[in-house]
Amino acid sequence: MAINRKRDLRQTLLSLAHFFAHESCGKCLPCQLGTQRQLEILVRVAEGKASKADILALEDIGFTMTNASLCGLGMTASTAILSALERWPYFFVNNR
């Protein structure tokens, strides 16, 4: 997915998180719980209310999902989030 400066990164990631949380089959806990937690945290990010602990949790959740999920959906559900955290960390902690 490619986006330009006109797209709101927070809203884009939130939309992706909604998709993955909805599509998770729930068979494995890393994906079932991880997609829900990602969504909850990204709601706070979009509202400008995320804490440093939330950001650390996103990284931890992403790592766990990538390495412990049973299918491709769970293994890739955090890819965009982890990429954005690496490239634009200020989008996650600054208020709107």
What is the pLDDT at residue 1?
A: 67
- Establish how many alpha carbons lie within 13 A of residue 15's alpha carbon, considering only the half-sphere containing its beta carbon: 7
- pLDDT above 70 (res 50): yes
Q: Could you tell me the pLDDT band of residue 57, with boundaries at 50, 70 and 90? A: very high
Is residue 18 in some structural domain? no
pLDDT in tens, 62-84: 999 999 999 999 999 999 999 99
Is-above-0.75 flag for pTM? yes
Is residue 9 in some structural domain? no
Is residue 20 in some structural domain? no
- pLDDT above 80 (res 3): no
Question: Domains in the chain: how many in total?
Answer: 1
**DSSP secondary structure string for all residues of 38-67:** HHHHHHHHHTT---HHHHHHHHHHHHHHHH
Is residue 77 in some structural domain? yes
Is residue 21 in some structural domain? no
Radius of gyration, alpha carbons of the chain: 12
**Considering the chain, what is the average pLDDT of its residues?**
91
Is residue 79 in some structural domain? yes
Q: In whole angstroms, what is the distance from residue 47 CA to residue 73 CA?
A: 26
Residue 66 amino acid letter: T
Range of the structural domain that residue 72 is part of: 31-93
Is residue 65 in some structural domain? yes
- For residue 50, report the phi and psi dihedrals to the nearest 5 degrees: -75, 140
Is residue 72 in some structural domain? yes
Q: Could you tell me the pLDDT band of residue 8, with boundaries at 50, 70 and 90? A: confident
b/e 36-49 (16+ beta carbons within 10 angstroms → b): bbbbebbeebbeee
- pLDDT above 70 (res 26): yes
Residue 8 is given by DSSP the state -
